[in-house]
Amino acid sequence: MPDCFYQSMAEIKDWMARGGTSLVGVAAGPFPDQCNLPVTVLGKTWFVHLLPKTSDGPASEGTILLTGTARPERAVMLATGKTLAVSAVGDRFTLEVPREWRTGSDDVVVIAW
């Protein structure tokens, strides 16, 4: 196999080590009805996926919008454990992921109720 194959497999392995819980044993989440970004769900936990730029489209913006939900009890970056602030305007909640926290990969935010 060419070297690029092994490089891609190493990148996938590294991502799965830090983000695999957002994909294994989860269900599809309420996207786009209650969240503006793709979501997977496990129990009362949502995993919001901020996707990287690809040949098919631009990267996800760093703003997560939640509608029709309760206020999250906590929101953290899955890979680092860094906590995100939750802002409320009416029945909408907003979480901002700072640009410097983005990796250029699928960055996952864990939201728990």
* Predicted local distance difference test score (pLDDT) of residue 65: 96
8 A C-beta contact, residue 84 and residue 97: yes
Candidate CATH numbers 3.50.50.60, 2.60.40.1180, 3.40.1800.10, 2.170.190.11; the one for domain 3-112: 2.60.40.1180
* Predicted local distance difference test score (pLDDT) of residue 16: 87
The answer on pLDDT for 55 being more than 80 is: no
* Predicted local distance difference test score (pLDDT) of residue 58: 84
Confidence (pTM): 0.90
DSSP structural state of residue 53: P
Structural domain boundaries in the chain? 3-112
The answer on pLDDT for 90 being more than 90 is: no
Secondary structure class of 110 (helix, strand, coil): strand
Task: Give the pLDDT confidence of 17-39 residue by residue, as tens digits.
Answer: 888 899 999 999 999 999 999 99
8 A C-beta contact, residue 109 and residue 48: yes
* Predicted local distance difference test score (pLDDT) of residue 27: 97
* Predicted local distance difference test score (pLDDT) of residue 53: 83
At 41, the amino acid letter reads: V
